[in-house]
């Protein structure tokens, strides 16, 4: 729901200031539409229905995986693809992964979104409407900006959306922003007053390999990115999560684990090893054994590491996969 348009429409209708909050509260609590808003006068509900679309996104496809993961593909009013995922965990956690851009201007070589054409930044409303879509299915409590796009390149809209998340049931502490290491964005996050988790997609322990996997490293090399993360930690005192996609024979060797452990201060960083979700790229994912050995090598050198649970593999849940397939079909 476009909240600025809502404000304007309510003002034009001569409605009191509390109406916008009232409508938003219904939406944030999972109302299916204006009809559900029983304390909003019926005439006003009719007017809102025709002037303020209940969602800025149109659902195009929804895929349900056997593990409970739900992936949604939407289109914006101008036909841009947007993907979001709901992950359900056994301990009851409900975590949403949202997109910040349609497509992505960066060209990480292993990522399906990186091969798509860049569309545009999503508005704050388009980001929130991904969340509300799942909130209408069930209560949700965690969120990560790990869908399509680079959130730090759309910082203003990402933070504007994040500010509304507690109303939907997602605190800032349970919100995370994942970045390729877009240094100006990391610095801006450090300056905000919100205790949002910072996650860095690292994927290599040194510049040559990292530039090969992620060309953005040419612009913001490792030392600069890690310095920004360390400044973030100094100011916020929250650990930075490192994402490391495991690519067979590329970044998963013992020596690379040792190099990674030497690079990262264990007080500041925790590593999350990500099994590669195969796309049409040149890479193969590391075997389970290789991932376990890499994790053991990190821990033996004092760096904490976890292996990410793979979710929704049967529904093309990796970044950009659903949108890329639908575009190709
Ligand atoms: N641009 C941001 C957020 C989007 S990607 C970033 O790069 O951090 C979210 C995470 O998914 C990143 O760590 C990215 O490297 C990872 N990813 C992308 N494609 C993947 C794939 N096919 N398999 C596993 N992880 C993938």
Span 15-47, pLDDT tens digits:
998 999 999 999 999 999 999 999 999 999 999
Query: What share of the chain has pLDDT > 90, as a percent?
Result: 89
Per-residue buried b or exposed e for 165-184, using 16+ beta carbons within 10 Å of the residue's own CB = beebbbebebbbbbbbbbbe
Ligand 1 pocket check: which of 84, 181, 274 to mutate, most ligand atoms within 8 Å of Cβ? 274
Q: Compute the average pLDDT of residues 192-202.
A: 97
Q: Are residues 158 and 39 in the same domain?
A: no
Is 42 inside any structural domain? yes
Q: Compute the average pLDDT of residues 196-222.
A: 98
Residue 316 has pLDDT above 90, yes or no: no
Structure letter (DSSP) for residue 40: S
Predicted pLDDT at 116: 84
Q: Are residues 83 and 166 in the same domain?
A: yes
Residue 132 has pLDDT above 50, yes or no: yes
Asked if residue 315 lies in contact with residue 97, where contact means CB atoms within 8 angstroms, the answer is: no
What are the φ/ψ torsions at residue 135 (nearest 5 degrees)?
-60, -30
Q: Could you give the dihedral angle defined by the CA atoms of residues 288, 292, 297 and 300, in that order, rounded to the nearest 10 degrees? A: 180
Q: Compute the average pLDDT of residues 270-276.
A: 97
Structure letter (DSSP) for residue 34: G
Complete DSSP assignment for 7-33: HHHHHHTT--THHHHHHHHHHHTT-SS
Predicted pLDDT at 327: 54
Structure letter (DSSP) for residue 286: P
> What is d(CA 141, CA 175) in angstroms, rounded to the nearest whole number?
9
Tokens of 312: 């929704």
Is 95 inside any structural domain? yes
Is 140 inside any structural domain? yes
Predicted pLDDT at 50: 96
Q: Which of 12, 34, 54 is the last residue of a domain?
A: 54
Is 82 inside any structural domain? yes
Q: Compute the average pLDDT of residues 220-247.
A: 98
Q: Is 316 in the pocket of ligand 1 (CB under 6 A)?
A: no
Q: Count structural domains, the chain.
A: 2
Q: Are residues 75 and 164 in the same domain?
A: yes
Q: Is 319 in the pocket of ligand 1 (CB under 6 A)?
A: yes
Q: Are residues 300 and 159 in the same domain?
A: yes
Is 295 inside any structural domain? yes
Predicted pLDDT at 310: 78
Q: Compute the average pLDDT of residues 278-297.
A: 95
What is the average pLDDT score of the chain? 94
Q: Are residues 41 and 139 in the same domain?
A: no
Q: Are residues 151 and 269 in the same domain?
A: yes
Q: Are residues 12 and 73 in the same domain?
A: no
Question: Which residues belong to the active site?
Answer: 83, 319
Predicted pLDDT at 73: 96
What is the band of 314 on the pLDDT scale with cuts at 50, 70, 90?
Answer: confident
Q: Is 274 in the pocket of ligand 1 (CB under 6 A)?
A: yes
For residue 233, give the 3-state DSSP assignment.
Answer: helix
Is 320 inside any structural domain? no
| Gap from CA of 3 to ligand 1 centroid (Å) | 30
Is 321 inside any structural domain? no
Characterise 243 by phi-psi region: left (phi > 0), alpha (psi -120 to 50), beta (else).
Answer: beta
Q: Are residues 64 and 118 in the same domain?
A: yes
Contacts with 257 (C-beta within 8 Å, 6 or more apart), sequence order = 294, 297, 298, 301
* pTM strictly above 0.85: yes
Q: Are residues 234 and 204 in the same domain?
A: yes
Residue 288 has pLDDT above 70, yes or no: yes
Domain range holding 45? 1-54
Give the position of tokens 């949403």.
Answer: 96
> What is d(CA 159, CA 198) in angstroms, rounded to the nearest whole number?
13
Cβ neighbours, 10 Å, residue 324: 22
Predicted pLDDT at 145: 98
């Amino acid at each position: 729901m476009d909240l600025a348009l809502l404000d304007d429409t309510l003002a034009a209708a001569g409605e009191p200031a509390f109406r916008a909050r009232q409508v938003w509260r219904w939406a944030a609590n999972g109302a299916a539409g204006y009809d559900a808003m029983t304390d909003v006068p019926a005439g006003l509900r009719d007017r809102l229905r025709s002037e303020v679309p209940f969602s800025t996104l149109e659902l195009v496809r929804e895929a349900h995986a056997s593990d409970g993961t739900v992936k949604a593909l939407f289109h914006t009013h101008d036909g841009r693809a947007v993907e979001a995922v709901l992950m359900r965990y056994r301990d009851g956690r409900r975590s949403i992964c949202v997109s910040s851009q349609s497509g992505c201007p960066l060209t990480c070589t292993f990522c399906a979104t990186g091969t798509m054409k860049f569309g545009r930044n999503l508005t704050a409303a388009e980001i929130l409407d991904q969340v509300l879509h799942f909130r209408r299915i069930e209560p949700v409590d965690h969120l990560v900006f790990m869908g399509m796009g680079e959130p730090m390149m759309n910082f203003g809209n990402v933070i504007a959306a994040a500010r509304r998340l507690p109303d939907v049931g997602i605190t800032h502490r349970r919100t995370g922003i994942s970045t390729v290491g877009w240094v100006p964005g990391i610095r801006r996050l450090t300056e905000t007053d919100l205790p949002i988790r910072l996650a860095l997609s690292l994927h290599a322990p040194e510049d040559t390999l990292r530039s090969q996997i992620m060309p953005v490293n040419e612009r913001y090399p490792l030392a600069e990115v890690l310095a920004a993360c360390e400044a973030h930690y100094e100011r916020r005192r929250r650990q930075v999560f490192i994402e490391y996609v495991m690519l067979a024979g590329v970044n998963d060797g013992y020596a690379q684990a040792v190099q990674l452990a030497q690079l990262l201060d264990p007080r500041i960083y925790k590593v999350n090893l990500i099994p590669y979700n195969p796309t049409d790229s040149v890479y193969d994912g590391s075997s389970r054994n290789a991932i376990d050995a890499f994790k053991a090598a990190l821990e033996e050198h004092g760096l904490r590491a976890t292996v990410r649970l793979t979710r929704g593999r049967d529904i093309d849940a990796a970044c950009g996969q659903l949108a890329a397939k639908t575009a190709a079909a």
